[in-house]
């Protein structure tokens, strides 16, 4: 919205500050995905530093399921989009119900 000059603070910082306005999304990014299940997948994905998604999720999700939703096995969890996590969660839930 606007920049706050460094002179507005004491001691004067060597950086500028800004005031921003965050507007909530009108609908959830995941749509109708189960938030608990999505949380389980994401938490597990980020549970081990520096591991690939195939390694961190190997106890929950098959490599075939990762590939089916467009996730490469060598990707790291931080490179996967929210939409991909949502797709993976939906595919995982439907594989459990078979």
CA-closest candidate to residue 59, choices 83, 31, 51: 51
Q: Is residue 24 part of a domain?
A: no
Structural domain range at position 60: 35-96
First to last CA, the chain: 50
Quote the CA–CA distance of 42 and 40 in Å, as a whole number: 6
Per-residue pLDDT tens over the stretch 43-84: 999 998 889 999 999 999 999 999 999 999 999 999 999 999
The domain that holds 79 is classified in CATH as 1.10.8.100
Q: How many domains does the chain have?
A: 1
pLDDT at 26 over 90: no
43 located within any domain: yes
Helix (H, G, I), strand (E, B) or coil at 92: helix
Please tell me the pTM assigned to this model.
0.73
């Amino acid at each position: 919205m606007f920049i706050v000059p460094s002179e507005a603070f004491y001691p004067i910082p060597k950086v500028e500050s800004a005031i921003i306005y965050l507007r909530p999304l009108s609908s959830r990014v995941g749509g109708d995905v189960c938030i608990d299940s999505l949380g389980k997948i994401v938490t597990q994905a980020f549970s081990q530093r520096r591991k690939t998604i195939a390694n961190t999720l190997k106890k929950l999700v098959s490599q075939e399921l990762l590939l089916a939703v467009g996730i490469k096995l060598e990707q790291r969890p931080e490179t996967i989009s929210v939409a991909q996590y949502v797709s993976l969660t939906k595919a995982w839930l439907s594989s459990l119900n078979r």
